[in-house]
Amino acid sequence: MADSKYDLVVIGSGPAGEAAAMSAAKKGLRSAVIERRSAVGGNCTHKGTIPSKALRHSVKQLMRYNTQSVFRALGEPRRLTFPQVMRTVNKVINYQVEMHTSCYARNRVDLINGEAKFLDENRVEVQLADGAKEIITSEKFVVATGSRPYRPADVDFAHPRIYDSDTILDMEHTPQAIIIYGAGVIGCEYASIFAGLGVKVDLINSREHLLEFLDDEISDALSYHLRDMGVTVRHREEYAKVTGSNRGVVMEMQSGKRISADALLWCNGRSGNTAGLGLESIGLEANHRGQLSVDEHYCTAVDNIFAVGDVIGWPSLASASYDQGRAVAAAVVGRGHRVIEDAPTGIYTLPEISSVGKTESELTNAKVPYEVGRALFKHTARAQISGERVGMLKILFHIETHEILGIHCFGAEAAEIVHIGQAIMKQPAPNNSIDFFVNTTFNYPTMAEAYRSAALDGLNRVMRL
């Protein structure tokens, strides 16, 4: 049985784990990463962010081909099967694995493939793929094991027509109709993807509105465009029973409704990957969702054991996880800490959504005097040229100081566009001002010039007061 000693060992090679290990190595620590998969990247690369966004991109390209008249010279509208689209996704995954693997080699971070289990506060046992066991000793550990789809016990996920957001990527057929249970970010993204492939979608939402953390206007726009794509959105519904057969799946609702489809995609919640880590050996206990609690330094109740990424819960974003990984490496060497706050939200529906800062409801409830500036994409030359006319940019700002309080974007490249507003929001007063967009020259034609249009619209409203 081999025995190795390190300054820092990270369990999990997703965004949070990789960032922690690389940053620690650059700070002079002897570091290693333990990854249970045979390839690095974590759930983000293999099951979550990268596959679903690559899948979305391929479907979006297909939709453009089928809806824009310029392509009719090349032939009639086409349909692609789900497995056909997934072939391009797998190419992206392979490229990501190759790129991330090279990072470990360049930074001299040891990569150990196997299942990790704590023996005590300074040792983990790693079950290797060949059956051998290795004891890893370290001064400090970072748990970055990510999360997995929540699976209720009364739903048979072994049935060939019942999927979760991980196993859906292995689907070998294209259903004519699909039920998506859970209208969170993942559920809404897959609803638009399948609708884009021409699949009939029933999207089941247990809440009053879609993605209630969004600005109301953006949530309403998402609902409209999903329905416009043919998605049936059912609010305030909860399942009572799921029955699978050779012909499909029937979901009985507590309301008495019976919904049938060729397949079911379960997207209702996620659980932290802490089972099997041997937390009982170090006096740690995960909550009912398998998540670990941490302080402002991302340290758990055990002084030398930290946790970052989806395993600690909110915000459960790959972008925030990268930052958490770098922050925990700084905390480990005693160079301060940074709690990740106000991270932008990127939702890759069709069209996509992105926001940062406060919503109108939050500002209203806090009695903050604000005004709204809007720019519709259909009024910008770049959107007219590219055919991406759906969407808008919305700026919320303080009436008196003109401080930007929130940026909300719906439409093509929203997740890119939002960062322009974010950069100004992060500036100290008086530089955080909507006036910046009026006094700045933007390239023409661009989507970015929507900021100038929105700023002028908002300032004109203030002038009328």
Is 103 annotated in some ligand binding site?
A: no
Is 132 annotated in some ligand binding site?
A: no
Is 185 annotated in some ligand binding site?
A: yes
Residue 197 to residue 215: CA distance in whole angstroms: 28
Residue 272 to residue 147: CA distance in whole angstroms: 4
- Per-position DSSP letters for 42-62, written without gaps between them: HHHHHTSHHHHHHHHHHHHHH
Is 433 annotated in some ligand binding site?
A: no
Residue 445 to residue 381: CA distance in whole angstroms: 6
Q: Which helix (H) or strand (E) holds 162?
A: strand 162-164
Identify whether the C-beta of residue 408 lies closer than 8 Å to the C-beta of residue 218. yes
Is 409 annotated in some ligand binding site?
A: no
Output DSSP code: residue 303: T
Q: For residue 84, which phi and psi values (nearest 5 degrees)?
A: -65, -45
Is 299 annotated in some ligand binding site?
A: no
Is 198 annotated in some ligand binding site?
A: no
Residue 215 to residue 220: CA distance in whole angstroms: 9
Identify whether the C-beta of residue 16 lies closer than 8 Å to the C-beta of residue 308. yes
Question: What residues contact residue 337 under an 8 Å CB cut-off, 6+ apart?
Answer: 296, 297, 298, 327, 330, 331
Q: How many other C-beta atoms are found inside a 10 Å radius of the C-beta of residue 450?
A: 28
Is 121 annotated in some ligand binding site?
A: no
Neighbour order of strands in the sheet with 249-253: 239-244, 249-253, 258-261
Question: What residues contact residue 73 under an 8 Å CB cut-off, 6+ apart?
Answer: none
Is 49 annotated in some ligand binding site?
A: no
Is 147 annotated in some ligand binding site?
A: yes
Is 183 annotated in some ligand binding site?
A: yes
Is 424 annotated in some ligand binding site?
A: no
Is 35 annotated in some ligand binding site?
A: yes
Is 189 annotated in some ligand binding site?
A: yes
Residue 310 to residue 442: CA distance in whole angstroms: 37
Is 41 annotated in some ligand binding site?
A: yes
Is 347 annotated in some ligand binding site?
A: no
* Tokens, residue 104: 């470990």
Identify whether the C-beta of residue 455 lies closer than 8 Å to the C-beta of residue 435. yes
Residue 285 to residue 173: CA distance in whole angstroms: 41
Residue 389 burial (C-beta neighbours within 10 Å; 0-12, 13-18, 19+)? middle
| Residue located via tokens 């109301």 | 216
Question: What residues contact residue 12 under an 8 Å CB cut-off, 6+ apart?
Answer: 33, 34, 35, 42, 143, 144, 145, 146, 273, 309, 311
> Which residues carry a binding-site annotation?
35-44, 53, 145-147, 182-189, 269, 310
> Which residues carry a binding-site annotation for FAD?
35-44, 53, 145-147, 310
> Which residues carry a binding-site annotation for NAD(+)?
182-189, 269
